Amino acid sequence: MLKVEKLSGGYDRQLIVKNVTFQVEKGEMLGILGPNGSGKSTLLKVISGILHKESGDVLIDGKLLTTYSSKELAKKMAVLPQLHSHAFSHTVRDTIALGRYPHQSGLFSSWSDEDEAAVVGAMKQMGIEKYEHHMLDLLSGGEQQRVFVAQALAQQAPILLLDEPTNHLDIAHQKQLLDTIKTQANENAMTIISIFHDINLASLYCDRLLLMDQGEVKVIGEPHEVVMKEKIETVYKARISTNPHPERPKPQITILPDIKERCEEKLITIENFQVTDELVVFQAEHQLKTWSSAVINAGTGWYRTFVNRRVDAFYNIDNAQTEMQQFLTNRGYSETETVGMMTAVYTKDAVIKQYDGDFGSVIIMVTAGVGNAVDVAKAYEVEALPAIGTINTWIIINGELAEEAFIQAVITATEAKTKALAYEQVKDPRTGTIATGTSTDSVLVAATQQGAYIPYAGPITEVGKKIGLGVYECTVEAIQTYKKAKGWE
Amino acid sequence: MSKAMIGYILSIAALLVAIWLGVSVGSVKVPISTLWDTGADAIASNIVWKIRMPRVVLAGLVGASLAIAGAAFQGLLKNPLADPYTLGVSSGASVGAVTTLFFGISVPFLGIFTLPVFSMIGALVTMFLVISFAKLVDRAMKMETIILTGIIFSSFLGSVISLMIALTGEELRQIISWLLGSVSMRGWSFVQMAIPFVLIGTLLLWLNRRELNAMLFGEERAQHLGVNVKKRKMMILIGGSMLTGTAVAVSGTIGFVGLVVPHMTRLLFGSDNRHVLPLSFINGAALLIICDLVSRTIIAPTELPIGVITAFIGAPVFAFIFFRQRKKGGI
């Protein structure tokens, strides 16, 4: 356990670390964050006793740091500094073996089995056994870094101070190293303090984070309390946005660049559509921010081609994703830039309309097959039967949509679609009630993210009104066309 | 067999060969057996015991001292070009020695050890000055900074010595030849004078062999690894200065031994200081015995100063190391 109380210190004339207080428990990993020159490394040096402290205390297991002898301290605390220099060539093994220095005593200080086990174990943990007899200076920067981490691990101290341990490492080795260290913290109840440059790595691996600003603690707490847009932006003076990690409940950040892009107008119109017997294709010059429930590239992303493909009634749905991907690739549509949907209706029957407003414009595309219409409120009453019929709705907007506007656009569009079905008296054949949609409807909302900023897209906003009107009109028209084609009317 | 083991066997063999040659070769050829043959020729026995043997032993002690001190300085300063000579420590020791002679200083309880003790003090003071100055110039203490500082101090101290010599007139002319370095006509009393300090100095350094290994990665790193850097550094500086001071007191300034020997040792047997220190000690002895042999035989009957021979070998090696380090982009 390590306790730092009102610690101030730095170089001879300059106080760099000011009044820092925190505590790290056994088995805990604390990450230290802060911009360049915020005093992270200096703090580590003052804690490890390399630089003198002006005031305050460092306590290890309740005892003052200064009461430990050099060797005792090294048994308690291992340090991995940021820069390494070495004048003469050592082998990897000799370098790691130096980590055993504090455990050896006596004039001849023999090498014990315990020493050997610690060195071999550390090499294994860092995956550098194969370099055992290599010369250190012939290894790459990343390999050397792993050797020095192994040296610190061989020290077998319960407290580990690390200054940017992932320096020089590729992502596989960053992950391996941090996994190893985190496992050490968990399994051997080690106390770990590590400086990070990479806010995302720190957030992902640390239990708590300490954000430093100009030598002082700006904030300390769990990652979600520290990695916040305003705090990070104020301290680092860089624009960022935060988003959740896909697997762990930890916040991640994304840098928002301030590059002046050539101010090209990315306006899209109805001219961007092309309809063939088989496909409805929308193609834009630039990528649009897209949110969809398509077959290919669903979710959020930046895409510039949207494809709505007609398949016949005998299409084998089991392998749809792979087949569709293959189909798109064969047609020359880029795998990473295309959103793909499927429909059973004739693509020639697609309804595509443009609605202009003060904010910009909305283009709606609807293909509707209602042979599979479902009343969602009664759906629990009946066994779902696989049937053909889908309503695909695209809403493409000239404007800059906020996250919530994307969601509201989907709500608005869905409500308008349901209203259209009601107007057309489309019924769920199983329950005989008015249908709300089909069982396989898809929706796509895309925006150029240029032009007017659109924070909301509910029916109270202008863009919401256009979406509501557009989707309603287009869906009604598409259903009527469908009915005609089926000979229902 | 480990690399180090081979190193010890080869080095000891080389030392024995050097002693054998040093004793037997000269203006009069003497068989080595004279050393143990009680019935040997009286003149031969005299040559061996009164002239050659003390000379060989003294050369060995001086060579060993300079080499191990060089190895330690290199480790401590992480600087492959450091040695008592390039650091200016030898010059400091010379000033100490010349001052003793110049003022006729004799400290009663030190007796014959007055000269080496003052030499050591000169060496130690210079060492501290050089390191402090170099640190002041450049916190990182780059290789070139230290060596340049050494040169500055060397030149300054050299002129101090010249001044003292000029002021004394005739009596100290002999000092000039002494300054160029020589182990001739010193006799057993010089060996006696040197032995205790060589032993203590060597022990001080040997006790820090593992600490020197740690310090190769920097003083901060060494401290993290549990080395009491302040104390250990002091021990190494005192040990190294003691050895340098002693060597200078008995033989004048002999350059480059502390540079060449540890470098060759590392090249051949690896850079683990647990072995570099003892092996440099042995090889330094062998090298200086051979150099002395060459210096007194190459243009016999005239004797060359031994420092000429060591510089002849040492300067190119210095250039080579410098070249290699810069190519490596290191330090």
| Structural domain contains residue A263 | no
pLDDT at residue B245 tops 50? yes
A225 burial via Cβ count (<10 Å: 0-12, 13-18, 19+):
middle
| Structural domain contains residue B31 | no
pLDDT score of B86: 85
Same domain as A13, residue A69: yes
Peptide bond into B301 cis (omega under 30): yes
The tokens describing B111, both together, are 């007796």
Which of B226, B272, B330 faces A101 most closely, judged by CB atoms?
B226
User: Smallest Cα–Cα separation from A309: which of A286, A281, A334, A289?
Assistant: A281
CATH of residue A152's domain is 3.40.50.300
pLDDT at residue B155 tops 80? yes
Query: Contact A87/B216, CB-based, under 8 Å?
Result: yes
Give the span between the Cα atoms of A41 and A194, in whole angstroms. 10
The alpha carbon of residue B110 is apart from the nearest alpha carbon of chain A, in Å, by 31
What residue type is B84 in one-letter code?
Answer: P
Give the span between the Cα atoms of A270 and A277, in whole angstroms. 18
CATH of residue B77's domain is 1.10.3470.10
Find the mean pLDDT for residues B166-177: 68
Q: What is the average pLDDT value for chain B, to the nearest integer?
A: 85
Same domain as A287, residue A164: no
The tokens describing A239, both together, are 């624009």
Residue A117: pLDDT band by 50, 70, 90 thresholds?
very high
Same domain as A114, residue A245: yes
B76: left (phi over 0), alpha (psi -120 to 50) or beta: alpha
| Structural domain contains residue A404 | yes
User: Is A99 an interface residue toward B (CB < 8 Å)?
Assistant: yes
CATH of residue A360's domain is 3.60.70
| Structural domain contains residue A261 | no
User: Smallest Cα–Cα separation from A255: which of A229, A218, A231, A291?
Assistant: A229
Query: Contact B220/A81, CB-based, under 8 Å?
Result: yes
Domain boundary among A223, A255, A287: A255
The ipTM assigned to this model is 0.79
Same domain as A310, residue A169: no
pLDDT score of B174: 64
Find the mean pLDDT for residues B292-318: 85
Task: Give percent above pLDDT 70 in chain B.
Answer: 95
Same domain as A174, residue A77: yes
SS (H, E, C) chain B: CCHHHHHHHHHHHHHHHHHHHHHHCCCCCCCHHHHCCCCCCHHHHHHHHHHHHHHHHHHHHHHHHHHHHHHHHHHHHCCCCCCCCCCCHHHHHHHHHHHHHHCCCCCHHHHHHHHHHHHHHHHHHHHHHHHHHHHHHCCCCCHHHHHHHHHHHHHHHHHHHHHHHHHHHHHHHHHHHHHCCCCCCCCHHHHHHHHHHHHHHHHHHHCCHHHHHHHCCCHHHHHHCCCCHHHHHHHHHHHHHHHHHHHHHHHCCCCCHHHHHHHHHHHHHCCCHHHHHHHHHHHHHHHHHHHHHHHHHCCCCCCCCHHHHHHHHHHHHHHHHHHHHHHHCCC
Residue A136: pLDDT band by 50, 70, 90 thresholds?
confident
Q: Residue B177: which domain range?
A: 66-328
Question: Considering only A322-336, B11-25, B84-98, B141-155, which range has the smallest mean pLDDT?
Answer: B141-155
Highest mean pLDDT range out of A102-116, A329-343, B26-40?
Answer: A329-343
| Structural domain contains residue A237 | yes
Same domain as A251, residue A347: no
pLDDT at residue A419 tops 70? yes
* Residue B116 and residue B186 in contact, taking contact as beta carbons nearer than 8 Å: no
pLDDT score of A367: 94
Q: How many angstroms separate the most distant Cα atoms in chain A?
A: 104
pLDDT at residue A305 tops 90? yes
| Structural domain contains residue B60 | no
| Structural domain contains residue A26 | yes
| Structural domain contains residue B196 | yes
Which of B75, B214, B270 faces A98 most closely, judged by CB atoms?
B214
First to last CA, chain B: 33
Domain boundary among A205, A227, A255: A255
pLDDT at residue B41 tops 80? no
Same domain as A280, residue A212: no
Residues in A closer than 8 angstroms to B75, CB to CB, are 87-88
Q: What is the average pLDDT value for chain A, to the nearest integer?
A: 89
Same domain as A396, residue A251: no
- What are the pLDDT digits (tens) for A5-22? 999 988 877 889 999 999
The tokens describing A369, both together, are 């097959």
Residue B198: pLDDT band by 50, 70, 90 thresholds?
very high
| Structural domain contains residue B223 | yes
Task: Give the three-class secondary structure for A393.
Answer: strand
pLDDT score of B331: 41
User: Smallest Cα–Cα separation from B292: which of B115, B62, B86?
Assistant: B62
Same domain as A309, residue A194: no
pLDDT at residue A384 tops 50? yes
Number of domains in chain A: 2
| Structural domain contains residue B51 | no
Residues in A closer than 8 angstroms to B80, CB to CB, are 87-88
The alpha carbon of residue B179 is apart from the nearest alpha carbon of chain A, in Å, by 32
| Structural domain contains residue A262 | no
| Structural domain contains residue B5 | no
Domain boundary among A187, A221, A255: A255
Cβ-proximal residues to A203 (8 Å cutoff; 6+ apart), any chain: A31, A209, A223, A226, A227, A245, A250, A251, A252, A253
Find the mean pLDDT for residues A209-231: 93
Mutate to test the interface with B, among A12, A41, A45, A70 (most CBs of B within 10 A): A70
Same domain as A447, residue A328: yes
Which of B74, B78, B227 faces A70 most closely, judged by CB atoms?
B227
| Structural domain contains residue B291 | yes
Q: Residue A426: which domain range?
A: 270-486
pLDDT at residue B144 tops 90? no
pLDDT at residue B177 tops 70? no
- What are the pLDDT digits (tens) for A51-60? 888 889 999 9
| Structural domain contains residue B234 | yes
Same domain as A315, residue A231: no
pLDDT at residue A489 tops 80? no
- What are the pLDDT digits (tens) for A240-250? 999 889 889 99
Number of domains in chain B: 1
Same domain as A465, residue A389: yes
pLDDT score of B330: 47
CB under 8 Å, gap of 24 or more: what pairs does B107-111 form? none
| Structural domain contains residue A265 | no
- What are the pLDDT digits (tens) for A188-206? 889 999 999 999 999 999 9
| Structural domain contains residue A400 | yes
pLDDT at residue B142 tops 80? no
Residue A338: pLDDT band by 50, 70, 90 thresholds?
very high
pLDDT score of B1: 65
Give the span between the Cα atoms of B125 and B135, in whole angstroms. 15
The alpha carbon of residue A162 is apart from the nearest alpha carbon of chain B, in Å, by 12
Residues in B closer than 8 angstroms to A73, CB to CB, are 226
pLDDT score of B279: 95
pLDDT at residue A33 tops 90? yes
The tokens describing A429, both together, are 């054949």
Chain B residue nearest residue A160, CA to CA: B224
